[in-house]
Amino acid sequence: MNITITPSLQYMGTESTKYTLNCVHCGRQYRHHEMACTNDNGLLRSRYASRHLHMHDLPGMGRFLDWLPVSAPMHTCSGPLTYKSTSLARELGLTNLYIGFNGYWPERGAHIQTCSFKELEAYPTMQLMHESGNHKLVLASAGNTARAFAHAAVGTDIDVYIVVPESGMSKIWLPEEPTDNIHFISMAGTCDYADAIQMAGKIAALPGMTSEGGARNVARRDGMGTVMLDAAVTIGRMPDHYFQAIGSGTGGIAAWEASLRLKADSRFGKILPRLHLVQNLPFAPMLHAWQHDRREIIEDIDMPGAKKLIDRMYADVLSNRHPPYSIPGGVYDALIDTNGTMYGISTHEAQQAKALFERSEGIDIVAPAAVGVAGLVKAVEEDALNRDDLILLNITGGGVERLKEDFTLHHLQPEFKLDSPDIDIELLLR
Ligand SMILES: *Cc1c(COP(=O)(O)O)cnc(C)c1O
Ligand SMILES: [Zn+2]
């Protein structure tokens, strides 16, 4: 067969033709694995060749392979689960409340063993790494992301280097024995998450290393987007409202992007679900900027004395000092495009919501997920919804207590303990 390769399609020669990667702002096309538009720093978004979502007969999130930026299925039964709530719905006076449960709850068919939706990001990212011939992945995390990527890396040919502030190591466990391709590097007591990020940046700059890219990684966003896809195929249409606790807001962007694809598919409705994004007070820079109709986050105004604010959070996983809020295609644009809104939740409100959810639905949830539940409670109190509206509540993590009944948790130890981000890491990793 004779194929003429046009300049803009040149990349496609060696890459799968399943999708292209385009800047959300100027439309320019990029190679797979690029992370930002060189023109305007816009997010790159995957554009899938198949406009209709064909479900694959695969376990877990593999069902959504059509709209994941990987060629081959991932080896996992981990995936999103959607079910209709009766008890919590009744408590709140809602008739169409659906729960997207992302955690461990085998009785319901939820098999995310690290108990958060970060696993939905980890598997496609690892698969993409494998397919692109990159074998050393670097990330910084304070908890759920580290567990998810470590778990997804068990037994694979990809070395993962995960930098964690020492205070976060207690949250690092796996439901299985780790394999020796998983490397934890802890940053001593005085170092915080920002130092971990800095160190991860240094490691990622070493030859052969790949940074996972955070919100800019389409495998992460499209993986998280499967929560919205699962809801749409389970319910038969897109929900009217989407509730989620956010720290970076990447899940909100992902839900928006997934709904744009569902809208283009045309079988799931024409109206984008309204994003209801929930931050945990007192550290809520996006909420603050949003309430002042600003695309820019101004540090001195929106998060003065960030460290002290973060120390007072109920769910400190939700602290992110540099969220992808302002960038083209980021959280601000997602809120504008979906007529979205934001909430701020106190410790007390989150604790109440956690108790309410666990009592009514009968499964434990993690602190950040409780913040999301509290957002829904607030929306109901403020009459921001009609009681018959179709609502999707993303329970971003849960079932840790349930998991402990079935598995022994293996707590991991760091391979290196570093005192400061100034250390010459290259010497250590030789
Ligand atoms: C990371 C995380 C969030 C926040 O997700 P973003 O969309 O990235 O802000 C919420 N809940 C849990 C359990 C998380 O691990
Ligand atoms: Zn651009």
Short-list 171, 175, 101, CA closest to 369:
101
- Pocket probe for ligand 1: among 114, 116, 145, 363, the residue whose CB has the most ligand atoms within 8 Å is 116
pLDDT in tens, 318-374: 999 999 999 999 999 999 999 999 999 999 999 999 999 999 999 999 999 999 999
**What local confidence, expressed as pLDDT, does residue 420 receive?**
81
Torsion angle defined by CA atoms of residues 180, 181, 186 and 192, in that order, rounded to the nearest 10 degrees: -150
Fold of the domain built from segment(s) 119-216+408-429: Rossmann fold (3.40.50)
Do residues 374 and 349 touch, judged by C-beta distance below 8 A?
Answer: yes
**What local confidence, expressed as pLDDT, does residue 31 receive?**
87
- Locate the ligand 1 atom nearest the alpha carbon of residue 224 and give its number: 7
> Left (φ > 0), alpha (ψ -120 to 50) or beta: where does 115 sit?
left
* pLDDT value at 4 more than 60: no
- Pocket probe for ligand 1: among 318, 335, 395, the residue whose CB has the most ligand atoms within 8 Å is 318
**What local confidence, expressed as pLDDT, does residue 15 receive?**
59
- Crossing angle for the helix pair 250-265 and 226-235, to the nearest 10 degrees: 40
* pLDDT value at 119 more than 80: yes
Binding-site residues, ligand 1, Cβ < 6 A: 116, 118, 144, 245-252, 317-318, 366, 368-369, 396-397
Short-list 191, 210, 76, CA closest to 138:
210
Confidence of residue 17 (pLDDT cuts 50, 70, 90): confident
**What local confidence, expressed as pLDDT, does residue 1 receive?**
34
pLDDT in tens, 201-218: 999 999 999 999 999 999
Do residues 185 and 159 touch, judged by C-beta distance below 8 A?
Answer: no
- Locate the ligand 1 atom nearest the alpha carbon of residue 118 and give its number: 15
Confidence of residue 12 (pLDDT cuts 50, 70, 90): very low
Contacts of residues 68-72 at CB distance under 8 Å and 24 or more positions apart, as own/partner, are 68/124, 68/219, 68/222, 68/223, 68/226, 69/18, 69/19, 69/21, 69/32, 69/124, 69/128, 69/218, 69/219, 69/222, 70/124, 70/127, 70/128, 70/131, 70/219, 71/16, 71/18, 71/131, 72/127, 72/131
Ion ligand 2 contact residues with beta carbon within 5 A: 23, 25-26, 37, 39-40, 42
Task: Please tell me the distance between residue 304's alpha carbon and the centre of ligand 1 in angstroms.
Answer: 22
* pLDDT value at 429 more than 90: no
* pLDDT value at 10 more than 70: no
pTM here is 0.95
Do residues 273 and 259 touch, judged by C-beta distance below 8 A?
Answer: yes
Q: Atom 3 of ligand 1 has which residue's CA nearest to it?
A: 246
**What local confidence, expressed as pLDDT, does residue 56 receive?**
96
DSSP 8-state class, residue 1: -
Residue 170, phi then psi, degrees to nearest 5: -65, -25
Once rounded to an integer, what is the mean pLDDT over residues 52-58? 96
3-state SS, residue 364: coil
Do residues 77 and 59 touch, judged by C-beta distance below 8 A?
Answer: yes
* pLDDT value at 155 more than 60: yes
| Domain regions of the chain by residue span | 5-67, 81-116+219-403, 119-216+408-429
Do residues 414 and 184 touch, judged by C-beta distance below 8 A?
Answer: yes
3-state SS, residue 406: helix
Residue whose structure tokens are 């001195």? 300
Do residues 163 and 149 touch, judged by C-beta distance below 8 A?
Answer: no
pLDDT in tens, 241-280: 999 999 999 999 999 999 999 999 999 999 999 999 999 9
Task: Please tell me the distance between residue 329's alpha carbon and the centre of ligand 2 in angstroms.
Answer: 10
Q: Do domains 81-116+219-403 and 119-216+408-429 have the same CATH topology?
A: yes
**What local confidence, expressed as pLDDT, does residue 11 receive?**
38
Average pLDDT of the chain is 93
Q: Atom 15 of ligand 1 has which residue's CA nearest to it?
A: 144
Tell me the one-letter amino acid at 121. E
Under CATH, which number does the domain 81-116+219-403 receive? 3.40.50.1100
**What local confidence, expressed as pLDDT, does residue 9 receive?**
34
Do residues 91 and 72 touch, judged by C-beta distance below 8 A?
Answer: no
**What local confidence, expressed as pLDDT, does residue 80 receive?**
98
* pLDDT value at 190 more than 90: no
Distance CA 74, CA 154 (A): 13
pLDDT in tens, 396-422: 999 999 999 999 999 999 999 998 878
* pLDDT value at 7 more than 60: no
* pLDDT value at 186 more than 60: yes
Task: Please tell me the distance between residue 37's alpha carbon and the centre of ligand 2 in angstroms.
Answer: 5
Do residues 110 and 81 touch, judged by C-beta distance below 8 A?
Answer: yes
Distance CA 111, CA 233 (A): 19
DSSP 8-state class, residue 177: P
Q: Which structure tokens are listed for 317?
A: 């996983």
Q: Which structure tokens are listed for 414?
A: 């760091």
- Locate the ligand 1 atom nearest the alpha carbon of residue 244 and give its number: 10
The set of residues, in sequence order, having a beta carbon less than 8 Å from that of 327 and lying 6+ positions away, is 41, 42, 43
Confidence of residue 5 (pLDDT cuts 50, 70, 90): very low
Short-list 344, 348, 402, 389, CA closest to 89:
389
Task: Please tell me the distance between residue 24's alpha carbon and the centre of ligand 2 in angstroms.
Answer: 6
- Pocket probe for ligand 1: among 244, 278, 313, 364, the residue whose CB has the most ligand atoms within 8 Å is 244
